[in-house]
Chains A and B, each alone.
Chain A
Amino acid sequence: KQEVTQIPAALSVPEGENLVLNCSFTDSAIYNLQWFRQDPGKGLTSLLLIQSSQREQTSGRLNASLDKSSGRSTLYIAASQPGDSATYLCASGGSNYKLTFGKGTLLTVNP
C-alpha cells in the first residue's frame, strides 16, 4: 500500500526567500506525481504534474523534481510571496492512476 509523507508539516518564511517542500513515497512504481495547492476552505489547484518518465517540471517560480528510485519529489518555490501562503499537497499516481495524497505542508510567507 502506497504511503506518501510530506515534510515539514508547517513552514514559515520571510517574503523573498527560496524554499523547498519535500514529498516521499514508499512504492516507486508510480505513473506520475502531482503537486497541488489548497487555500483555506477551497478545493485543490493543480500546480505541476510530473510523469514517471520525467525528472522535473517547471511553471513560473515553481519547479518540481521527481526521483523514482529514491521515492522522493521536491517542490522548489523561488522568491516566495505572501500570496504563496497555502497548504501544498503532493500525490502519487498508482494503479488505475489513483492518487494517494500526503497530509500536506502548511506554508506561511510573512511580508
Chain B
Amino acid sequence: EAGVAQSPRYKIIEKRQSVAFWCNPISGHATLYWYQQILGQGPKLLIQFQNNGVVDDSQLPKDRFSAERLKGVDSTLKIQPAKLEDSAVYLCASSFGLAGNEQFFGPGTRLTVL
C-alpha cells in the first residue's frame, strides 16, 4: 500500500515570496490533515479536510495561508507572502475517517524562509 506522498521535499525561498506544497493521501482515506512542525516542537494542526470540506481550520493563519482539496483527493497548501517564522516542516497526514482512526503521515516538506 502506497503511503502519503508529498512534494517538494525541500524548499528555500526569500521572505515575501509565495510557495505551494502538494499532498496525495493514501487511497481511500477521506480525511486529510496539514500540520506545521517548527524545530524542537510537536506538529501543530493547520487544517483538516473531510473529503473536500473543511472540518477545522482554527489554527490556520488565513491572512497568508490557504489550502484546498479539490475532488476530495489531492491537496495543496499555499503561503503568500512567506515570513521568516514560517520556516518549518509541513506535514500532511491522512486517515480513513474521523472516528478514532489512525493518522498516517507523509515525509514532510522542509521550508526555509530567508
Q: Min CB distance, A46 to chain B, in Å?
A: 6
Residue of B42, B95, B99 with highest tally of chain A CB at under 10 A: B42
B48 near A31 (CB under 8 angstroms)? no
Q: Which residue of B lies closest to A50 (CB)?
A: B100
Residue tally, chain A, CB below 8 Å to B:
26
Interface mask (A16-53 → B, CB under 8 Å = 1, otherwise 0): 00000000000000011010100001111110010110
Instruction: Please tell me the size bucket of the interface on B.
Output: 20 to 34
Complex interface: stretch among B12-20, B64-72, B104-112: B104-112
The answer to whether A96 touches B98 (Cβ under 8 A) is yes
**Interface of chain A, helix or strand or loop or mixed?**
strand
Instruction: State which of A49, A99, A102 has its C-beta within 8 Å of the C-beta of B45.
Output: A99
A 61-111 contacts with B by CB, 8 A: 89, 91, 93, 96-104
- B107 near A43 (CB under 8 angstroms)? yes
Q: Is the CB of B102 within 8 A of A102?
A: no
Decide: A101 and B44 in contact? CB cutoff 8 A: yes
Provide the bound-state CA to CA distance between A85 and B37, in Å.
Answer: 20
Q: Does B103 contact A (CB under 8 A)?
A: yes
Q: B102 near A96 (CB under 8 angstroms)? A: no
**Shortest Cβ distance from A47 into chain B, in angstroms?**
10
Q: Which residues of A contact B40 (CB under 8 A)?
A: 103
Name 5 A/B residue pairs within 8 A (Cβ), A-sorted: A34-B102, A43-B91, A89-B42, A96-B56, A97-B95
- Chain A residues packing against B (C-beta within 8 Å): 4, 31-32, 34, 36, 41-46, 49, 51-52, 89, 91, 93, 96-104
Binding site for A on B (CB under 8 A): 4, 6, 33, 40-45, 48, 55-56, 91, 93, 95, 98-108, 110
Closest 10 pairs between A and B when the two form their complex, measured CB to CB: A101-B42, A44-B105, A43-B105, A43-B107, A49-B102, A32-B100, A43-B108, A97-B98, A31-B100, A101-B43
